[in-house]
């Protein structure tokens, strides 16, 4: 079996993830955050529409209060913006962005599963 040199491995990783060395993890987190946001949009919408949950984010609560479809549109637009960074290969890879992205995905994962748990318990 042929051994893959570090240079070839880095090229393969760049080709698959569309980034330079070190940015792959951030891109994966961007994908995850965007998809999580899309799923959360519909789960939250369902919970809000059926008065199972309340939106605790004041900005999103106000948007939902204005128009529930605007709420969905806003969440989808946020996911699209994240994906545009990926598509145009402009995902920032600084340690600050990595840290913020890890924090955001961790926090958002907890919120998402909390919403899911509440809906399961209440339904």
Mean pLDDT of 72-89: 95
- Reference 101, options 15, 20, 54, 37; nearest CA is 37
Q: Tell whether 42 is covered by a domain.
A: yes
Domain, as residue range, for 111: 26-122
φ, ψ at 81 (rounded to 5°) = -60, -40
Q: Which residues neighbour 10 within 8 Å (Cβ) at sequence distance 6 or greater?
A: 21
pLDDT at 50 over 70: yes
Contact criterion met (CB below 8 Å) for 26 and 97: yes
Give the chain's domain count: 1
Q: What's the pTM value of the predicted model, to 2 decimals? A: 0.75
Distance, in Å, from the CA atom of 84 to the CA atom of 78, rounded to the nearest integer, reads: 10
Give 36's pLDDT tier (boundaries 50, 70, 90).
very high
Give 3's pLDDT tier (boundaries 50, 70, 90).
low
Give 2's pLDDT tier (boundaries 50, 70, 90).
low
Determine the pLDDT at residue 23. Answer: 75
Distance, in Å, from the CA atom of 36 to the CA atom of 48, rounded to the nearest integer, reads: 18
Q: Tell whether 54 is covered by a domain.
A: yes
Distance, in Å, from the CA atom of 98 to the CA atom of 73, rounded to the nearest integer, reads: 27
Q: Tell whether 7 is covered by a domain.
A: no
Q: Tell whether 106 is covered by a domain.
A: yes
Mean pLDDT of 26-41: 94
Determine the pLDDT at residue 5. Answer: 54
Q: Tell whether 4 is covered by a domain.
A: no
- Reference 87, options 27, 46, 29, 7; nearest CA is 27
């Amino acid at each position: 079996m042929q051994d893959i040199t570090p240079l070839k491995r880095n090229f393969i990783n760049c080709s698959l993830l569309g980034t330079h060395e070190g940015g792959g993890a951030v891109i994966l987190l961007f994908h995850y955050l965007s998809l999580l946001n899309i799923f959360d949009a519909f789960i939250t919408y369902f919970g809000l529409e059926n008065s199972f949950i309340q939106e605790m984010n004041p900005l999103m609560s106000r948007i939902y209060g204005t128009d529930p479809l605007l709420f969905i549109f806003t969440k989808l637009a946020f996911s699209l913006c994240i994906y545009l960074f990926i598509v145009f290969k402009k995902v920032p890879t600084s340690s600050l962005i990595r840290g913020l992205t890890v924090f955001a995905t961790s926090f958002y994962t907890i919120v998402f599963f909390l919403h899911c748990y509440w809906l399961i318990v209440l339904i």
